[in-house]
Chain A
Amino acid sequence: MTELQLLKTKTINDTWSSPSKYWAERRQLRHFNARTIDEAVRLLTEYTEEATVIAGGTDVVGLMRNRVISPRALVNIKTIPDLAYIKEDAEGLKMGALTTIKDVATSTIIRRKYGILTDAARSVATPQIRNMGTVSGNLCQDVRCWYYRRPPVTGTTFFCRRKGGEFCYAPVGQNAHHAIIGGKLCHAVSPSDMAPALIALGAKVVVVGATGERVIPLEEFYTVFGNILRPHEMIVEVRIPTPKNEIRQRYLKFRYRKAIDFAISSVAAVISMEGKAVSDARIVLGGVSPTPYRAIKAEEVLREKTITHSLAETSAKAALEQAAPLSMNAYKVSITEALVRRAIVDCNS
């Protein structure tokens, strides 16, 4: 075997006698129906890292099944009343944490003013999952990587950095679907559709925990290895500020199939216009980075300019300037550039 092969194989477990090192063994699990936010926070505080919030469950149940996580307590927040709502007020749009993706996709309020959210929501997974999945759950879902999520039933798990190991398998392995930008220690991708769209709209999340409430811009919510929620915290609301100017918005999602799949690459563009010129632009990429990726350089290209096809192209190239594709995913760079360009052009028409 070559040195590279040896490097790859040495961190694969070769005995099953110490499972907790490589995957989460099944433990005694208790399920709690929280009746209030306070109760939920209390439970989360009691169990700290060993508790997991379950909303729609469309990600959590899969993660448990594949032994990626093994909580001791599941804190069900679906039993908390008045957490599913879509309402407009002077400040903007507010969505409760338990608002389902289906509700977002079919909301007339959202379609009227924030069509990018409608498109993003409609593109999520399957109709069945949209019926169950919630906005907060979609934002908190774990990254996608077939090394990270591989279940022990296959005989092999990969003890990667996300699990406490010292290695990321993607750069030396099968990485056609992995990150092309923003990946260094980890090259998994953030699969959420709602996150890029909401970040492009300047959304904030309201988080409640043992230390009280805090309001966090969604673009500051994510880290390479997860999000900034402390173990005792949960999202209760997502807020979108009323746009100051007229906005044009577009969500484009590229995937192999026309349903079910996560994005190979997605682009959320929200462009504010003042007359014919761009007053503000927010362009966020999904599926290409361990977190939603704000393409700041692309935005700078557009500011105070009139959008032309060639400007859109320049902006698209700028978006991917920092791209560092792996051995198999350079094609994602081409696709993402095309999507950014098209999203900008669509916003202009």
Chain B
Amino acid sequence: MDAIVPGGFMMVNEQVAVVLTVNGDRFELMVEADWILADVLREKLGLTGTKMMCGEGACGSCTVLIDGEPVPSCLTLAVECQGKDILTIEGLADPVTGELHPLQKAFVERSGMQCGVCTAGVILTAKALLDENSNPTEDEVREALAGNLCRCGNYKRITECVMVAAEMMRGGVRNA
């Protein structure tokens, strides 16, 4: 059934079962082949912390971590995420104590966001950087965030927050 019947029923896409592991939780749901992960997270799982700013991978706002790597969730098919570990911004704080990740702390304390739409993507991308490189230079931070657009122009403060968080994670003394 692949034609639209005029004045009748919309053609229905086949739905397949998929198990998504998001922030350590297991979700079983039916998805259509072309549903993107960003939409599934936001609309089916109610995890609206992942934001859609452009829908074509050009802005980084929809970045989530899949098996620890930042990827654009607007270009990722949900059906292909079975068996992977997905981390969204909602899963970053400690699940038991609720304690914020150092990146989240730094962004709160140093005003790392303005409107906040790029924030989830920026923080998760930065987390992946810091997990791999605990002492990045400013240039390395900028390179890592090259794909994260901030229309509020908060790049300077974002860089600062990431460096501050890196220091926190290394156990260093934070500059207030």
Contact = CB atoms under 8 A, between A and B. Distances in A.
Contacts of B144: 127
Of the listed residues B2, B3, B33, B74, the one surrounded by the most CB atoms of chain A closer than 10 A to its CB is B33
A125 B57 contact: yes
Contacts of A30: 14, 33
Interface in A43-63: 54, 57-58, 61-62
Given A126-B146, A132-B71, A132-B72, A28 B77 contact: no
A39 interface: no
A76 interface: yes
Nearest to A76: B80
B169 interface: no
Interface string B21-62: 000000000001110100000000000000000011110100
A125 B71 CA distance: 12
B4 interface: yes
A58 B77 CA distance: 10
B57 A128 contact: yes
A258 interface: yes
Contacts of A78: 80
B105 to A, nearest CB: 24
Say whether chain B's binding surface is mostly helix, strand, loop, or mixed. Answer: loop
A76 B11 CA distance: 23
Nearest to B58: A260
Interface string A17-47: 0000000011111110100000000000000
A28 B2 contact: yes
B93 interface: no
* Number of chain B interface residues as a range: 35 or more
Contacts of A129: 57, 72, 75, 147
* Number of chain A interface residues as a range: 20 to 34
Contact of B75 (A25, A26, A58, A259): A58
A131 interface: yes
A171 to B, nearest CB: 26
A65 B57 contact: no
B125 interface: yes
A76 B33 CA distance: 11
A259 B33 CA distance: 31
Contact of B12 (A28, A64, A131): A28
Interface string A68-84: 00001010101000000
Contacts of B76: 57, 61, 132
Contacts of A62: 56-57, 75
B13 A28 contact: yes
A29 B56 contact: no
Contacts of A128: 57, 60, 63, 70-72, 125, 147
Given A62-B57, A127-B125, A29 B146 contact: no
B98 to A, nearest CB: 28
Nearest to B147: A126
Interface string A123-145: 00111110110000000000000
Contact of B2 (A61, A72, A127, A260): A72
B146 A258 contact: yes
B146 A27 contact: no
8 contacts: A26-B11, A30-B14, A31-B16, A65-B55, A74-B34, A78-B80, A126-B148, A127-B146
Interface of B: 1-4, 11-14, 16, 32-34, 36, 55-58, 60, 63, 69-72, 74-77, 79-80, 125, 143-144, 146-149
Interface of A: 25-31, 33, 54, 57-58, 61-62, 64-65, 72, 74, 76, 78, 125-129, 131-132, 258-260
Given A125-B147, A132-B75, 15 more contacts: A28-B1, A29-B33, A30-B14, A30-B33, A31-B16, A57-B75, A57-B76, A61-B36, A62-B56, A126-B148, A127-B144, A129-B72, A132-B76, A258-B146, A260-B149
